[in-house]
Amino acid sequence: MSLRRLTLAVAAAVAVAGTAVAGIPVASAADGGEPQAAMTETRTIRYGPWTIPAATGHTHDEMGGTGNRLAFNIEKPCTDCMVTAIKPNLVYEDGRNANINTGPMLHHAVIGQLGEPDLVCRLGGLGPKRLFSSGNERTPVTLPAGYGLRIDSGDRWSMVYDLMNHAHQERTVYISIEYTYVTGPAARRLTPVTPMWLDVVSCLNPTFDVPAGEVTRTKRWKSTVSGEIVYLKGHLHHGGRTITTTNATTGQRLCEVTVVSGGTPEYIDEHGNKEISSAPPCIGAPVATVRRGDVLEVAARYVADHPHEDVMGIVTGYIAER
């Protein structure tokens, strides 16, 4: 789905469920200090509801779709806090999982901050700073212990989303995101991470076309920061096999994500078409250390039985700068 078709829609989060799940003691009695409750909380926010038009046929081009839409000032899970995990999903009103076996596909959703500089996509510092994204594979972000993505009280979040539909009836769904976060003094003890988005095209429109057969597309980015990369995940479309991140300066392979298609029944539609069902991320403290000036290369490999338009090859992750 191209940004040429970008349409604007203002939407608000309409349903929020919050629960505190755990109080983790950060100092034991053996330390001689007072045990302090570092409240790790989870909160699920539903963005929507949004209705996806019906499919008109069996092929990709005939699927129903919202096209790219932008939702401004979406709800954040917390303020003055550190987010440690983000788990995206697509659900129906009653909470049931919504996936291509019943029609809906979370083609993509990106949460960003407009007007804030992005680490990789400079554009004169205008951003958007891309904080988190998901495709239909719904790979959760889980940062290693000790790290968090900071949310300040003045931060404003917006979301670009594109939802598709394999079913021949329209579907109404929510993008549901479960956030895990830490507040208070415990949050200040975490090391903040900076989101990074590397892709094989460009930062304004990350789509490209692949012919039938095997093709690998690569792109390089010269790092402007030093630090520890603690998380990397990959996003490919139908026909994608692997997406690899390498430090071309040192020769070190940082992460290779190999995707699985149709791994569970909800990722197979009624015509037997499969979509990517998992893309296991790389998590570590650190995954790799990077120095300013190092050249990072992302390589997206596709093996397609027929040509595909508007596919993607994106690696997103988080780096603790130092």
- Report the alpha-carbon distance of residue 274 to residue 259 in Å, rounded: 12
Tokens of 5: 């078709």
Q: What residues between 2 and 31 interact with Cu ion by CB under 5 A?
A: none
User: Any idea what the Cα angle at residue 16 is, between residues 13 and 20, rounded to 5°?
Assistant: 145
Other CB atoms within 10 A of residue 87 CB: 17
Whether the CB-CB separation of 113 and 155 falls below 8 Å is answered with yes
Whether the CB-CB separation of 85 and 139 falls below 8 Å is answered with no
Q: By beta-carbon distance, which residue lies closest to Cu ion?
A: 312
Q: Which C-beta is closer to Cu ion: that of 171 or that of 235?
A: 235
Q: Kindly indicate which of the ranges 52-60, 104-112, 144-152, 262-270 contains the residues binding Cu ion, using the contact rule CB under 5 A.
A: 104-112
- Non-local (6+) Cβ contacts of 32 within 8 A are none
Residue from 43, 46, 108, 233 in contact with Cu ion (CB under 5 A): 108
Shortest spacing between CB 110 and Cu ion, in angstroms: 10
Give the interface size with Cu ion as a residue count (CB under 5 A).
Answer: 3
Q: Which C-beta is closer to Cu ion: that of 55 or that of 243?
A: 243
- Non-local (6+) Cβ contacts of 167 within 8 A are 54, 55, 64, 102, 103, 104, 270
Shortest spacing between CB 52 and Cu ion, in angstroms: 16
Shortest spacing between CB 312 and Cu ion, in angstroms: 4
Shortest spacing between CB 18 and Cu ion, in angstroms: 30
Asked if residue 130 binds Cu ion (CB under 5 A), the reply is no
Shortest spacing between CB 135 and Cu ion, in angstroms: 5
Asked if residue 76 binds Cu ion (CB under 5 A), the reply is no
Asked if residue 210 binds Cu ion (CB under 5 A), the reply is no
Whether the CB-CB separation of 173 and 66 falls below 8 Å is answered with no
Q: Which C-beta is closer to Cu ion: that of 186 or that of 210?
A: 210
Asked if residue 312 binds Cu ion (CB under 5 A), the reply is yes
Using a 10 angstrom Cβ sphere, with 0-12 exposed, 13-18 middle and 19 or more buried, the burial of residue 216 is middle
Interface contacts to Cu ion, rule CB under 5 A = 108, 135, 312
